[in-house]
Amino acid sequence: MIWNTRSPRCAKRFAICGSIFDSSRLRRELADIEEKTADPAVWADPTRSQPLMRERKRIENLLADDSELARRADDIEAYFELAREGEDTEADLAREIPALVQFAEQLESKTMLSEETDPLNAIVVVHPGAGGTESQDWAEMLMRMYIRWGERQNFKVEINEVQDGDEAGIKSATFTISGDFAYGLLSGETGVHRLVRISPFDSAKRRHTSFASVFVSPEIDDTIVIDIKPEDLRIDTYRSGGKGGQHVNTTDSAVRITHLPTGLVAGCQNERSQHKNKERAMKMLRSRLYEYELEKKKAVSKKLEDSKLDIKFGSQIRNYVMQPYRMVKDLRTRVETGDVDRVLDGALEPFIRSYLRMRREGGVPAAVTADDDL
């Protein structure tokens, strides 16, 4: 067996990771933050202390990653040295080299998350397209896919609102995925997703095409001020829905808030308390208003509209084909894999990394396969 650590793939990964860290600069920045937080006045003002704490955590994590990368590389070099001396280190290298490549890919993703909102939590909204039960079932499959992805990342996933379909699936769903850089990682998932399969709802077993849309926005924290006038809001309460059983809420605790000037809507029915549902819905509304205003300031409001394309053929960002062959292909980055089941179980990492590279480079990479990365 030959380990080619100088292959183009490995060389590119390690070269990128070698440029991630400037340890001296990071330590200077950390010392500067420590000096600022030594001032008691900073702690009296959350708008100053919270950003500093987040930045300190970010720098500490980068320095920890730097140390871990160096440790793993040194271990592999030591195994090669032992091999040159006649020791059998093949099993160790077979374990350590793939682990280092995976770690390097994770660090590469971090370098591409530099937007202001990238570190924030993600609010995900899923809607089925036209097609009734077929599309509603597909929307529920997508919801499960993102929930499983969040669980694979050890992120917290909280369902905010779900409207069940008439026969199967869902009419809409809103959920929050909480974790470091959750929004940055999922930002490229906004768009229309297309499924081709033999319909489980068609007695003739014909092949059907279904569409569903995904919209991802950052969860804005309290340090970002969004001016919302009470007279601009319409607040509706209603009874929480569900599939039945002892946990059905029999009071009008669910809340839906409409921002009248923009038409933006946020709702929550997850909590039993109307007050908590309202608080959660307001937080989601603030996030959507922030995204809306940010797009206006950047003079690219078209971007927001493009992310809400008609949910139909020709507007999709990714195809999931289960018959007559099996393949998932991203139409922007051209990354593809034949392991459809694993992707639907949350293995989105190759698609996410490729989108982030495309965003950073401002172009579309050559066609690649994601099978080796899944």
Does residue 116 form part of some domain? Answer: no
Strand partners, 176: 123, 158
Q: Are 98 and 150 in the same domain?
A: no
Does residue 345 form part of some domain? Answer: yes
Here the CATH number for the domain that contains residue 71 is 1.20.58.410
pLDDT band at 225 (very low <50, low <70, confident <90, very high): low
Q: What's the domain range around 286?
A: 230-297
Q: Are 143 and 207 in the same domain?
A: yes
Does residue 136 form part of some domain? Answer: yes
Here the CATH number for the domain that contains residue 147 is 3.30.70.1660
Measured between alpha carbons, how far is 127 from 105 in angstroms, rounded to an integer? 31
Measured between alpha carbons, how far is 123 from 215 in angstroms, rounded to an integer? 8
Measured between alpha carbons, how far is 11 from 228 in angstroms, rounded to an integer? 50
Neighbouring C-beta atoms of residue 47, cutoff 10 Å = 10
pLDDT (tens digit per residue) in 241-266: 655 444 445 567 889 999 988 888 88
| Amino acid making up residue 166 | D
Q: Are 328 and 281 in the same domain?
A: no
Does residue 3 form part of some domain? Answer: no
Last residue of a domain, one of 251, 267, 297: 297
CB neighbours of 305 closer than 8 A, spacing ≥ 6? none
Measured between alpha carbons, how far is 108 from 221 in angstroms, rounded to an integer? 26
Does residue 97 form part of some domain? Answer: yes
Greatest CA separation for the chain: 78
pLDDT band at 221 (very low <50, low <70, confident <90, very high): low
Q: Are 80 and 170 in the same domain?
A: no
Q: Are 204 and 235 in the same domain?
A: no
Q: Are 209 and 305 in the same domain?
A: yes
pTM assigned to the model: 0.66
Measured between alpha carbons, how far is 143 from 175 in angstroms, rounded to an integer? 9
pLDDT value at 206 more than 60: yes
Does residue 238 form part of some domain? Answer: yes
pLDDT (tens digit per residue) in 179-195: 888 999 999 999 999 99
Q: Are 214 and 306 in the same domain?
A: yes
CB neighbours of 197 closer than 8 A, spacing ≥ 6? 207, 208, 210, 321, 322, 323
Q: Give, in degrees to the nearest 5, the angle at Cα 272 between 269 and 276.
A: 75
Domain count, the chain: 3
Q: Are 184 and 282 in the same domain?
A: no
Strand partners, 123: 176, 217
Last residue of a domain, one of 256, 273, 297: 297
Spatial contact of 243 and 167, defined as CB atoms under 8 Å apart: no
Q: Which two tokens stand for residue 357?
A: 């590279």
Last residue of a domain, one of 111, 138, 171: 111
Here the CATH number for the domain that contains residue 270 is 3.30.160.20
Does residue 1 form part of some domain? Answer: no
* Per-residue pLDDT, 248: 47
* Per-residue pLDDT, 22: 75
Does residue 225 form part of some domain? Answer: no
pLDDT (tens digit per residue) in 64-77: 888 888 899 999 99
Q: Are 280 and 174 in the same domain?
A: no
